[in-house]
Chains A and B, each alone.
Chain A
Amino acid sequence: MGLIRKIPAVILAQFDSANDLFHAAEKMRDAGYKEFDCHSPFPIHGMDDAMGLRRSPLGYIIFCIGSLGLIGALTLMWWTSAVDYPLVISGKPFFSFPAFIPITFALTVLTSALTATIGMIAINQLPRLVHPIFNSERFGKFSDDSFFVSVEANDKKYDETKTAEFLKSIGGKHIEVLKD
């Protein structure tokens, strides 16, 4: 499957606290690493800047598909009520716009919410149940109380020994090289 990005290997380093992870991320960014990630049990405020990440594009995607939902809902009601089977109900016009607002709103929210959820999962390339990082015994603690930096072998600056040394120099502990 070409859709799923291949990750041949990962170097993993553990950090003591959210604070250490944050400052490690800044150093990774300044050293020019791109394909690295900072794993934490909760989102850390300001981490995007520390890692040098851009804003998530998800908002624009949701806006576009949500707008399609809005147009689709109005088109559906217009076509069924005024074109395909026009029916006089309580003397209202066939295209009775004010009466169509509640359903237009509901369907816009529905398409936007579905896009937000499915879009988030898709951009994050989930579900991904096989990943070299899962070979680590220690990594499971990220979801409890530990903090990790992982560097993918896809990174241009990746070098098994140099990267490991760099991670150690910025405070990383228990450095592991994990292969697929």
Chain B
Amino acid sequence: MANTSTPEQSQQHGEVLIPGNPTFHSVSDAVSRIVEGKTPRAWWILFGINAAGTGMLLVAIAYLVWEGIGIWGLMIPVGWGFDITNLVFWIGIGHAGTLISAILFLLRQKWRTSINRFAEAMTIFAVICALLFPTIHVGRIWVLYFVFPIPNQMGAWPNFRSPLLWDFFAFMTYFTVSVLFWYVGLIPDLATLRDRAKNKVKKIVFGVLSLGWLGGNKQWKHYELAYLVLAALATPLVLSVHSIVSMDFATSVLPGWHTTIFPPYFVAGAIFSGFAMVMTLAVLARTAFGLQDIFNMRVLERMNLIMLVTGSMVGYAYAMEFFMAWYSGNEYELFAFTNRALGPYAWAYWIMVSCNVLVPQLFWSKKLRTNIAVMFVASILINVGMWFERFVIMMTLSRDFLPSAWDYYTPTKWEIMTLIGSFCLFFTLFLLFLRFLPMVAMSEVKGVLPDAHIHHKKHDAEAGSAA
């Protein structure tokens, strides 16, 4: 029965996964009561602010569609500004969610069970924000269907050799797979909410969403295989999506963009920024909802270590870009990088370096990486830094081959409104998720509790003779 587990059994490879001796029931309770309880006042305040910001985003988009992308500060030579910066930023944020849910699942890192649902939701909302930008950036949104391979009035087909079209397919696949993975993971937890529901409407809604899940092993058998396959599919997918994004740049002939280091460097940066975003949200949620046991220090510390590793990889990539620019002997290449560090956008470059390379070095210290305040501030700084990384890459455009063509790009208020609005959209969706769906994968957390272990007769006999 419950509560009879010995200390040895409550450990996995010598560590306690979820502290505080939870039972199966206390896990369902801690997570479900957030969805079932009364809406806290703070939620309404935050939701109100973010919904208003989303309204501002809609206004900015409506005016853009009406007037055209002339309302933005884009010009020649800077044809990609805030729009593509935001696209790359948001799609990168999403990558941590898939890494946590898929790659750590395949590596059997059981500590991920407390944050995976949360991170997957973040992925979906970040990808929604990301998809917004290329959509509105095309200017004439009504001809967006050109990217679909469907017969059209011109009798022409999309150019399958273009990295921009690869992007479209990669994003669509990434979004769909993320939603499927998230939903499949949710089914057993939606059944928990259905079975706990007190009123009829909730029972019907969660009943339909959970598809009549019975938790029978005949169902779990197929379920677990489907989940494994989805994880195995999402793993190469997540590595490919940001690689394909980087090819938008790397397949061009622009100095500073035309480099083979881009795909791995972009993927490392994506995971880095995504973990920072998960950290920001996890620290807020654990404080707001009292989930200190589930989002425990071990999980947070490991996330900080992953940020230290990926942050250092990003720092290495920055250094290697400079080295290759010098080593190639190509004067345009060398100029592009000297210009990044010392040119008109040097301020952005040094924000990027200090936030992305220096800040994560704090995590070498055990004391700092287990300090909630330090990791919270660091995670925000890292996201600022990663946004600036994409901005710096974009601003390579401002000084290309001919000095007569050089220019300085400044965003207009519409671009700033769209950027802020995209954050508001993200947080609005996230708040709705926190309020209406279980933010922790209950069935997975229960599966790693000590009581979930089976004592096989043979093992028990061995343990008995050893004692």
Contacts and interface: CB of A to CB of B under 8 A. Distances in A.
Contacts of B161: 81, 89-90, 92, 96, 99-100
A109 B221 contact: no
Contacts of B367: none
Contacts of A120: 184, 222-223, 225-226
B192 A56 contact: no
Contact of A117 (B170, B184, B220, B444): B184
Contacts of B25: 144-145
B173 interface: yes
B229 A127 contact: no
B220 A144 contact: no
B240 interface: yes
Interface in B152-210: 155-161, 163, 165-166, 169-170, 172-173, 176-177, 180-181, 183-184, 188, 191-192, 194-196, 207-208
Q: Is the interface of B mostly helix, strand, loop or mixed?
A: helix
Given A46-B454, A113-B180, A129-B208, A37 B221 contact: no
Nearest to A78: B160
Interface in B197-253: 207-208, 211-226, 229-230, 233-234, 236-237, 240, 244, 247
B229 A44 contact: no
Contacts of B455: 19
B1 interface: yes
Given A109-B237, A113-B233, A120-B222, A143 B169 contact: no
Contact of B2 (A17, A25, A96, A133): A17
A41 B443 contact: yes
Most chain A beta carbons < 10 A, residue from B23, B24, B192, B240: B24
B149 A80 contact: yes
Given A38-B217, A40-B215, A121-B211, A114 B176 contact: yes
Interface in B117-176: 149, 155-161, 163, 165-166, 169-170, 172-173, 176
Nearest to B161: A99
Most chain A beta carbons < 10 A, residue from B172, B208, B226, B452: B226
Q: How many A residues are at the interface, by size bracket? A: 35 or more
Contacts of A87: 156, 159
A62 B195 contact: no
Nearest to B28: A144
A44 B177 contact: no
A141 interface: yes
B159 A144 contact: no
A41 B24 CA distance: 8
B148 to A, nearest CB: 11
Contacts of B221: 47-48, 53, 56
Interface of B: 1-2, 23-25, 28, 149, 155-161, 163, 165-166, 169-170, 172-173, 176-177, 180-181, 183-184, 188, 191-192, 194-196, 207-208, 211-226, 229-230, 233-234, 236-237, 240, 244, 247, 442-444, 446-447, 451-455
Given A109-B236, A113-B230, 5 more contacts: A41-B446, A43-B224, A99-B160, A117-B230, A143-B215
Interface of A: 16-19, 22, 25, 37-48, 51, 53, 56, 58-59, 62, 76-77, 80-81, 84-85, 87, 89-90, 92, 96, 99-100, 102-103, 105-107, 109-110, 112-114, 116-117, 119-121, 123-124, 126-131, 133-134, 140-145, 150
